Amino acid sequence: MLTQDSIQNALKAVKYPGYSRDIVSFGLIKEITAANGAVSVTMQLTSVNPEAGQQIKAESERILKALPGVSHVHVDVRQPAGGAAAPKVGLAGQNRVPGVKRVIAIASGKGGVGKSTCSANLACALHHLGARVGLLDCDIYGPSIPLMMGIHEKPSVSEGGQLVPPTAHGVKVMSIGLLLEDDQPVIWRGPMITKTIQQFLMAVTWTDLDFLLVDLPPGTGDAQLSLCQTVPLDGGVIITTPQEASLGVVRKGIAMFNKVNVPILGLVENMSYFTTPTGDRVEIFGHGGGRAEAGRQNAPFLGEVPIFTAIREGGDAGTPIMVSAPNHPASQAFLQIARKLG
């Protein structure tokens, strides 16, 4: 018997082009109806790439027509206006970042969960896997990516007047911290934050990148809204720690992405547990909260990152553990998550 659940389960076999994730987990399915052997499915994409829409439509129709009892299939794939006529334009005048295939936001909603540490190590993990990667630090008030990536070189300026991001550990890096003198505070109001983030996205030569990871500050304020309004994001990764104090704020971050039609690529539970020198496992902040919240949000759980002193030491030294010790258990955790993003 055809039901909405059986149809949705069948559509889990349809992968989003270029990702290992399926269209159901991306939250693209908006409506399913079935009656007398006729199946109708409506999907909403945030991407304006017409080829992606056509591929998803064709594969969905093939999958659904193979279901027992199906005599007619109608798949309506809706995309932001602009489609084939303007493949570089997204929602509300958004523009794709020139030269970048995928823009992924790394968010938390709450400070102190190790989001920047995860951003730096995930960028290095993707590079380790062979991808061309950029890392944009959007924490204007408290930039920490230059320290964690061990880079203090100021960006140069191209003949066309664009900033050329310096490279650290194979990753192109841009941060307000690279433009300021040491310990110089940023005392700006919202409009200046918005303008800076727009410039970091569109006035920087992010050339030929597979991924641009954007390290967001805590909260759901100017930086987050500026990013979502400037470029069509390909997804968001939520970093949390196991305890409820972190998860409660994470839900607000997820709700923000949902409101601006940004698919949640998954949750990462950072500081998941600590292993003592004697091999005992200590769950300092509890355990399993990230996986449980991913289940409640119907979002993928990307993995756990345990607590290791070497992770902190690598960040302080400017050499992420993913670079200094790629075979370390922490590095393997970051690699596992990075593979799921690909």
Q: Which three-class secondary structure string do you get for 14-83? A: CECCCCCCECCCCCCEEEEEEECCEEEEEEECCCCCHHHHHHHHHHHHHHHHCCCCCCEEEEEEECCCCC
Give me the CATH topology for the region 4-78: GMP Synthetase; Chain A, domain 3 (3.30.300)
| pLDDT on residue 88 | 37
Domain span(s) for CATH 3.30.300.130 in the chain: 4-78
pLDDT band at residue 326 under the 50/70/90 scheme: very high
pLDDT band at residue 58 under the 50/70/90 scheme: very high
For the chain, the straight-line distance linking the first and the last C-alpha, in angstroms and rounded, comes to 35
Please tell me which residue, 211 or 37, carries the higher pLDDT value.
211
Q: 3-state class of 9 per DSSP?
A: helix
Nearest to 22 by CA among 31, 13, 32: 13
pLDDT band at residue 284 under the 50/70/90 scheme: confident
Model pLDDT for residues 39-50, shown as the tens digit of each residue:
999 998 866 678
Domain span(s) for CATH 3.40.50.300 in the chain: 91-341
The correct answer on CATH 3.40.50.620 for the domain covering 91-341 is no
Predicted structure pTM score: 0.72
Model pLDDT for residues 20-41, shown as the tens digit of each residue:
678 887 778 999 998 888 899 9
| pLDDT on residue 20 | 67
What are the b/e assignments for 48-69, b being 16+ CB within 10 Å?
bbeebbebbbebbbebbeeeee
